Amino acid sequence: MNDIYMQDHNLDVYILSIHHGSADALYKGIKPHEFRKRFENYFNPIKVYLYETIPIGKITGYIIFDKPIIDNPENLINLLEKNKYDTKDKLNNYFLGVNKAFALPVLKIIKFNKEISLEELKSANVGFLPPMSYIKLNKNIKLNDYLKKKEI
């Protein structure tokens, strides 16, 4: 892996809405891939802030993901071998009716010591609205810069 990617700069940046259980499993290292029905196809590692949905309502850290594995759900389910969080039944239900899906491989995990609350983001007036799934931050420089400064 090229060191430039592990330094967290020069990467495309996203915010991903995620349930607490999945985020916790990623932070603990027991979930080596984040599975998604939809995601942008990207060609280099990316930096993804995790917005844990309500009742948490906070950005709790970020993950550097490697290039996505894009395939049919049946093939992606084979990645569960090293996954101690997701189950075959859970993923089959999640991927129901989907022909193409994404597995985002984890490269680096950073959990913030001080999480960034939804209230803080709203009061900072940086244009944050919790995404339904994900948003790309490259065009929202104000929010991107704010999050970078808050990384602890």
The torsion angle over the Cα atoms of residues 4, 48, 26 and 134, rounded to 10 degrees, is: -150
The whole-model pTM stands at: 0.91
Q: What percent of the chain has pLDDT over 90?
A: 82
**What is the phi-psi region of residue 66: left when phi exceeds 0, alpha when psi lies from -120 to 50, beta otherwise?**
beta
Read off the pLDDT of each residue in 13-35 and give the average, rounded to a whole number: 97
Q: List pLDDT tens digits, range 112-142.
A: 999 999 999 999 999 898 999 999 998 888 9
The CATH number for 10's domain is 2.30.130.30
Total domains in the fold of the chain = 1
**Residue 7 confidence class, pLDDT cut points 50, 70, 90:** low
Q: What percent of the chain has pLDDT over 70?
A: 93
Nearest-angstrom CA–CA distance, 45 and 104: 10
**What is the phi-psi region of residue 114: left when phi exceeds 0, alpha when psi lies from -120 to 50, beta otherwise?**
beta
Half-sphere exposure of 81 (CA within 13 A, CB side): 4
Nearest-angstrom CA–CA distance, 17 and 148: 18
Match 């290292």 to its residue by tokens.
29
Q: Which helix (H) or strand (E) holds 93?
A: helix 88-94
Read off the pLDDT of each residue in 13-30 and give the average, rounded to a whole number: 97
> Does the pLDDT value for residue 5 go beyond 80?
no
> Does the pLDDT value for residue 143 go beyond 80?
yes
Phi/psi for 26 (5° steps) reads -65, -50
Longest dimension (CA), the chain: 44
Q: List pLDDT tens digits, range 31-60.
A: 999 999 999 889 899 999 999 999 999 999
Residue 76 belongs to domain spanning: 3-150
Report the mean per-residue pLDDT for the chain. 91
* pLDDT for 4: 46
> Does the pLDDT value for residue 150 go beyond 60?
yes
* pLDDT for 139: 81
Nearest-angstrom CA–CA distance, 76 and 24: 21
